[in-house]
Amino acid sequence: MATAPATIIHGPSAPPANMFDTVPGYEGTIAGGGGGYLPPPPPSVPMPVPEQAPSSPDWHIPSISEDRARESFATYVSSKCCYSSAPVKEGVITNMESFNTYRYRLETFMESRSTEWSQEPYTGQPVDAGVQPAPGPWQIAAQPPAFFQEHKQTIKVPYTSSVKNCHFCLGMGRNPCTTCAGAGNKVCWVCNGSGYRQSDDRCMHCNGRGRENCSSCSGSGSCQCDTCHGKRQLLVFINLIVKWSTEKDEFIAQDSSGLRVENLEKVSGKELFKDAQYMVYPVRGFPDVSVAQASERLVRDHQVKYAQTSLILQQRQTIELIPITKVNYMWKGKPYVYYVYGNEFKVNADDYPATCCCSVM
């Protein structure tokens, strides 16, 4: 009869706070991150001076032909499995009007930095804590990617590495095996611990012991510590996490066509204006006042939102012209409307009269 071994539960435990030294300039750093982003130093370059207003773009209003409208309409209807094509074939276009609108987009590319205490098994790495003061988080050189490319880099902060006993195995290098709870053996799965099979045959699997060796720990009852990989000691240090990311905001001017603005979010337009520099200046003198206002507001918003916690490296603003054609047509004596919009000639036809092919035979 085997004795049930005491159950020792080894869940993942956070290292105790006293494991970390105090490093000047890194006081808020905690294990596992979550300490928030570190404010960057004030910009070393002066604020940008107003740029020239975008030169008068070419106000060519693209209009589409009736054939183009009809073709886009036919493609749209055939993409809907239940729509009848009768209104496309029999409908008569009575009027086509061009409505064009603008999309303003602002992108801000920035660098953010945060720190966290980390650890790794000690295998003789340099131990440099206190040798000299650690450089500040924004004094450490990182390798930025190309503008507007997302990237992340982790850098071990110099002069913060020290050696500590592993808190997880208390410096033993091994922990009790979780499979057999430290016993080194477990109930035989063939005879379920009795030592015998049906009748009086001895269990061949365990030779009648009723127990078998634990395969996880090869019968030893303990396993190598996962935290220190059996090295008994840990190198404890501060990691600097440098992140490059792009934040994007858009504004689409409302037009009078009746097509909902949300429809325009998925299409592209013709680029009228593009401006990329360290910090952009709001667009001035654009014919549509709401676009100029959106630029003013979004440039200010990005400054307020991101300059506190991140270093702005580059901004980019664009204005696109999105073509919209409203097509009025008659079918079976009644007026209907559809829209063709974007470079993709996307179609919207909310009042399509034959949405079920079975009912218009």
Binding site for Zn ion (CB under 5 A): 166, 168-169, 177, 179-180, 188, 190-191, 203, 205-206, 214, 216-217, 225, 227-228
The CB density around residue 49, as the number of other CB atoms within 10 Å, is: 6
Q: How far is the CB of 174 from Zn ion (least distance, A)?
A: 8
- Give 290-357 as a DSSP string: HHHHHHHHHHHHHHHHHTTTEEEEEEEEEEEEEEEEEEEEEETTEEEEEEEETTTTEEE-TT-S-S-G
- Taking the complex as a whole, the smallest distance from the CB of residue 119 to Zn ion amounts, in Å, to 10
Residue 106's SS3 state is strand
Nearest distance from C-beta of residue 179 to Zn ion, angstroms: 5
Provide the phi-psi class of 209: left if phi over 0, else alpha when psi is between -120 and 50, else beta. alpha
CB of 169 or CB of 312, closer to Zn ion? 169
- Cβ–Cβ contacts within 10 Å for residue 204, how many? 10
Distance CA 268, CA 265 (A): 8
232 by Cβ neighbours in 10 Å (0-12 / 13-18 / 19+) ranks as middle
CB of 277 to Zn ion, least distance (A): 52
Report the residue number, 216 or 245, with the smaller CB distance to Zn ion. 216
Q: Which is nearer to Zn ion, 234 or 283 (CB)?
A: 234
Query: What's the distance, CA 130 to chain centroid?
Result: 37
Which CB, 183 or 298, lies closer to Zn ion? 183
CB of 184 to Zn ion, least distance (A): 6
Closer CB to Zn ion, residue 194 or residue 308? 194
**Minimum Å distance from CB 219 to Zn ion?**
7
Q: Which is nearer to Zn ion, 174 or 243 (CB)?
A: 174
**DSSP letters of 47-81?**
PPPPPPPPP----------HHHHHHHHHHHHHHST
